[in-house]
Structure 1
């Protein structure tokens, strides 16, 4: 007797929008982009439909986002994914031309407005790995590997890429983003032709910075004007400097870093070596020169900031998820600039929504780092929910949902420190890669040693007077004086004599004379030296004053601070205007260039008076008898007033 196998029919019950709006969904991601939000964006951008169509504008928005979920499929196949789970619904079956017309009818404005709504920080203040002290760490960087179809309209907008061995096959798009390093969520984005530099697009994102943020960036953002604009937003920054920039030190700090000025901005420079020992015995070393607006070395030690700088690489991981995991390295679909703009905003919106779901999932388990959430698992779970039309309106799991359950069930292990050589994986790369000594395969790192450098101090005056007995938290390695310090010392030995850049280069044993001419001209523009005639330079005001006119400065007590010691020298000759190089010997200062910058800063603060170019006296309101230093108070037993305390 044969028994009939038992069978059952499972019909999943789904909740979607009614009628022609039913295909407009993204599965579990719809909770982050609800129908009301999409309708409000369409109404705000003026693209709301005037009559009910078979393909409404709201459905078109979700269709554009679904194109990013399935970049390997055509329009018809992506539409079939949206309607596959609509059991019992009579969904339309549009042609590919109708779907293209739907894209043209929407335009790029709704997708850009939708991204502006969802973009922003995702992590909570207590989420691990997202903050440094009280600062939320963010990062700037650009990506130039987004390829577009090679058609005439795209070439007219983006140009044709020039590679090392010839012309490239596809025009490329430059994308600039500002991300939150801990969650890798997007705070803002800008894109366009590569003919405009990264600084141009970064300025469009400065409005996204907030006073509680610390911006990280690489050497491509070593622009004095851009750094000043970042500081004007109220945010802090930690940026790597190029090897060609040389800055005169204003004050030395006990941890080996020093204060200087970039334009009108006081910054702190950290020079350090990072030495990594790998598991296979390989030892790697690389030098870093960082500039930051975090000036307090007690609260922010130099070694801690050097270690923090590696968080900048989180933006590279975000670009990998966006370019390779989500887009699968494919060329964009659109054949005109408006279509590319629409597609890019949709892709960025989809990426941000996926990151939002990932951060919400890991924050449901306190103490879980967002790095442990897999972007690939979140993407595959979102695709499955779109096909099944699940959790569009009925999500019983609250904030987590099906995508969150999949993420928490397959959390990645704790990130291990590792390193590998950077390789170009395209046959005709625009970069000439050379072997950098790193292992070819990913190798674990056993230990990392950070050694902070300092300029070689010629006298004890280089030590900060605010900390007479510093105790450095890490070893300090001294380096020889820079070119500017050597040049100023040489010019001081020949006062009043003009020197050409070529003669200076020969005297300082500089090999590349042409590049040294450019550097000397920059020193003159920055006010470190003076240009007398075409190609001739002297120290500031060396030709205007003879050495015999300089009075002898008084003996200054070494316990006084630098500003107090300067006051003592200035009040010793009330009718004389002092130059910084005349005051420096009394204070034991050999770096005249940095002291000249410091006195100019005091003059801008109103603590001393600038009588003429490069010459200073006391402030007129502060009469000479009323200026009393703390050292003189001890000898005269004068009481300490509230004004003195301030």
Structure 2
């Protein structure tokens, strides 16, 4: 946790929060009050063999990937643009086997084109790495489409940072008080998500993402003020009934650019990625898997060294022995 001093990495003083979120319900699996890659290892004990971990390219680090793979969980994540991925074997779905550090992975490169309701279209390129190496069981195009579920994590942060706080700030003046407030907020968030998931389960076929977080929050606040409507577990209570009575429409895919709310520099120039500034509904999605380029022949005319190692370099006027 940052200790209330000059803040050089953001527009406001901040508490850094890293979480592990379940994408189906947006419920919290774990949380730490520190930055991303270096301290995300503190969340690894929450991982299980039946989990698939999604992350963005900020977590692309060999040691971290190895630590995640060591838990037995599978992962699917985006790679940095400058990451080199050797092609060890080409697969039938256009992906290829490679290695990141010491972790065997499968790489899928794709061009994704989305068409919006107003007829405009936007295209982006993605390169994903996964430990799901069976190309016949896990098609590259399916994994690329699945990766979009990572944005459920961003929706969870929207509820945490904005819906819960509604513009308020932490009141405590010391790190221990701030940490206590943060845990209280996370506890409330988790309790609301639990009620929302239970409400969805009570009506078969209902996707939890159709349950309104704002409705759950307002109803819970009303019940606390009125001190009524307290029921046992097993059937939807007042919160669950209000959620089910005002379900959101089925989620529609959307596209928009990413913005920095408060850039450090007043002259910050956002890179144009071609996506719209405001959210637009996507009506069509096309995923084209890009096959890797063929290996280029060696540019040197020197034959390979018998021992499998390159010959030592020579200086002008100093020929090698035997030449």
Aligned partners of 2:262, 2:101: CA distance in 1, in Å? Answer: 41
Give the match for residue 30 of structure 2: 188
Aligned partners of 1:236, 1:333: CA distance in 2, in Å? Answer: 40
Classify 1:306/1:380 alpha carbon distance in 2 versus 1 (closer, same or farther; 3 Å).
same
Cα displacement string for residues 537-582 of structure 1 (whole angstroms, at most 9, x for unaligned residues): xx951328xxxxxxxxxxxxxxxxxxxxxxxxxxxxxxxxxxxxxx
Q: Does 1:208 align with 2:46?
A: yes
Q: Does 1:172 align with 2:8?
A: no
Q: Does 1:309 align with 2:123?
A: no
Give the superposition deviation at 1:162.
Answer: 2.4
Q: Does 1:272 align with 2:110?
A: yes
Aligned partners of 2:78, 2:111: CA distance in 1, in Å? Answer: 13
SS in 2 for 1:315: helix
Root-mean-square deviation over aligned CA pairs: 2.3
Classify 1:409/1:397 alpha carbon distance in 2 versus 1 (closer, same or farther; 3 Å).
farther
Give the superposition deviation at 1:326.
Answer: 0.3
Structure 1 length normalisation: TM-score?
Answer: 0.46
Unaligned 5+ runs, structure 2: 313-323
Select the structure that is richer in helix.
1
Unaligned 5+ runs, structure 1: 1-153, 458-480, 498-538, 545-646
- Aligned pairs for 1:214-293 (under 5 A) are 214-293=52-131
Classify 1:404/1:429 alpha carbon distance in 2 versus 1 (closer, same or farther; 3 Å).
farther
Q: Does 1:379 align with 2:217?
A: yes
- Aligned pairs for 1:428-577 (under 5 A) are 432-457=269-294, 481=295, 489-491=298-300, 493-495=301-303, 540-543=308-311
Give the match for residue 258 of structure 2: 422
Classify 1:293/1:162 alpha carbon distance in 2 versus 1 (closer, same or farther; 3 Å).
same
Cα displacement string for residues 241-278 of structure 1 (whole angstroms, at most 9, x for unaligned residues): 00101111111101111111122221101111101112
Give the superposition deviation at 1:434.
Answer: 3.5
Give the superposition deviation at 1:433.
Answer: 2.2
Aligned partners of 1:225, 1:428: CA distance in 2, in Å? Answer: 30
Aligned partners of 2:99, 2:9: CA distance in 1, in Å? Answer: 38
Aligned partners of 1:452, 1:385: CA distance in 2, in Å? Answer: 51
Give the match for residue 401 of structure 1: 237
SS in 2 for 1:447: strand
Note if contact 1:174-1:191 (Cα within 8 Å) is conserved in structure 2.
yes
Aligned partners of 2:232, 2:52: CA distance in 1, in Å? Answer: 38
Give the superposition deviation at 1:191.
Answer: 0.7
Which structure has more RCO (C-alpha within 8 Å, separation ≥ 6)? 2
Aligned partners of 2:257, 2:311: CA distance in 1, in Å? Answer: 55
SS in 2 for 1:448: strand
Aligned partners of 1:303, 1:423: CA distance in 2, in Å? Answer: 28
Give the superposition deviation at 1:158.
Answer: 4.7
Cα displacement string for residues 328-382 of structure 1 (whole angstroms, at most 9, x for unaligned residues): 1322111101101111111111100110000001100000000100000000000
Cα displacement string for residues 201-242 of structure 1 (whole angstroms, at most 9, x for unaligned residues): 210000000000000000001011111111110100001000
**Aligned pair count?**
310
Cα displacement string for residues 102-129 of structure 1 (whole angstroms, at most 9, x for unaligned residues): xxxxxxxxxxxxxxxxxxxxxxxxxxxx
Aligned partners of 1:176, 1:363: CA distance in 2, in Å? Answer: 28
